[in-house]
């Protein structure tokens, strides 16, 4: 506790874990990301989208695991137990069309909340001792892996980040703290599940597209639909210079090394995967892949998931200099 207090200015974290290891290792093709339970005031649909992309970015680092995003299946009601994903959603019919069996799916559930109940007391206490008004911002993240087919919770993890925040800044940005904590919790959970033999990544190997260099278009965040207006519509009321700055900041959250040139480029392109480098014919650098066999493809995880299960070279819909055309992806 003393060390945590001394390092509050730069942040500290406490971690607890629980595990329910099954008797046999489960071969898993894909991790389904359930919608994040985001219990933080004033969070919008695009904030949840950004946090979901953080989770997906972590899952993409684990070879042999595909990802299914929460916007790729529909829910009748929230799952109260793991088996509800089989009955209260259209997850299984959707994944069956992609060649993924129900027993080879696990669902990642997550809760993110900000504890601020004792904020006023901490501000008063620290103000007396340090002569500045601040408080500890506590971000709690709880994640767990569940297996719907066996109706089991496989593994759970809780992680808390504590940072010293100044009371004068009423609208402080918690996104960096949430991002670090959420990514760390998900990474540790999935890594432990694999290391302990709870699950084994078992998605098919890639046969096509392994030599392609692709970039995701981060501008899709502006048109992501949830409850309420999209981010693009919300920003329309801003002054042009303020709107552009806000758009650049949001895109840099998803692509930290984004340059101003890339920013302009992605705003001018349709949603999809930008081909870079020296791709094999008939693709060219600058093409944007928008569909794989007529299935919309905006993110790299969708691209990989589709190509893993292709028995022959897929047909791609691309945008080239503003014109839509169909090409066949050659084998690697």
pLDDT, one tens digit per residue, over 79-115 is: 889 999 999 999 999 999 999 999 999 999 999 988 7
Domains of the chain: 2-201 (3.40.50), 213-328 (2.30.42)
| pTM for the whole structure | 0.85
Quick one: average pLDDT of 225-253?
88
Cα-trace Rg, the chain: 22
Higher pLDDT, 7 or 131: 131
How many other β-carbons are positioned within 10 Å of the β-carbon of residue 225? 11
What's the pLDDT tens digit per position in 20-32? 444 689 999 999 9
Mean pLDDT taken over the chain: 84
DSSP letter, residue 89? B
E strand segments, the chain: 12-19, 26-28, 30-33, 37-39, 66-68, 105-115, 134-147, 152-166, 199-201, 213-216, 273-276, 288-292, 295-296, 315-320, 323-328
Query: What pLDDT was estimated at residue 176?
Result: 77
Q: For the packed helices 240-254 and 260-268, what is the interaxial angle rounded to 10 degrees?
A: 100
> Does pLDDT of 14 surpass 90?
no
Name the band, by pLDDT with cuts 50, 70 and 90, for residue 121. low
Higher pLDDT, 2 or 317: 317
């Amino acid at each position: 506790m003393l060390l945590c207090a001394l390092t509050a200015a730069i942040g500290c974290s406490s971690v607890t874990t629980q595990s329910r290891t099954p008797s046999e290792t489960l071969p898993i093709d894909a991790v389904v990301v359930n919608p994040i339970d985001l219990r933080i005031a004033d969070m919008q649909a695009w904030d949840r989208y950004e946090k979901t992309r953080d989770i997906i970015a972590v899952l993409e680092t684990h070879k042999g695991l595909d990802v299914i995003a929460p916007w790729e299946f529909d829910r009748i009601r929230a799952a109260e137990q793991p088996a509800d994903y089989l009955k209260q959603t259209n997850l299984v019919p959707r994944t069956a069309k992609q060649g993924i069996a129900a027993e080879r799916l696990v669902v990642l559930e997550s809760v993110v909340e900000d504890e601020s109940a004792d904020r006023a007391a901490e501000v008063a206490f620290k103000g007396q001792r340090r002569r500045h008004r601040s408080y500890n911002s506590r971000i709690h993240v709880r994640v767990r892996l569940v297996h719907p087919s066996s109706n089991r919770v496989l593994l759970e993890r809780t992680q808390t980040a504590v940072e010293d925040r100044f009371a004068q800044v009423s609208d402080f940005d918690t996104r960096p703290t949430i991002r670090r904590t959420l990514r760390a919790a998900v990474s540790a959970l999935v890594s432990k599940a694999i290391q302990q033999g709870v699950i084994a990544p078992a998605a098919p190997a890639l046969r096509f597209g392994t030599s392609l260099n692709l970039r995701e278009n981060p501008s899709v965040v502006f048109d992501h639909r949830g409850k309420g207006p999209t981010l693009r519509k919300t920003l329309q009321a801003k002054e042009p210079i303020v709107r552009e700055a806000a758009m650049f900041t949001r895109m840099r959250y998803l692509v930290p090394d984004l340059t101003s040139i890339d920013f302009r480029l992605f705003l001018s392109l349709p949603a999809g995967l930008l081909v870079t480098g020296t791709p094999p014919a008939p693709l060219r650098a600058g093409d944007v892949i928008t569909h794989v066999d007529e299935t919309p493809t905006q993110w790299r995880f969708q691209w990989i998931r589709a190509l893993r299960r292709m028995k022959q070279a897929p047909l791609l819909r691309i945008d080239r200099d503003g014109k839509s055309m169909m090409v066949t992806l050659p084998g690697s």
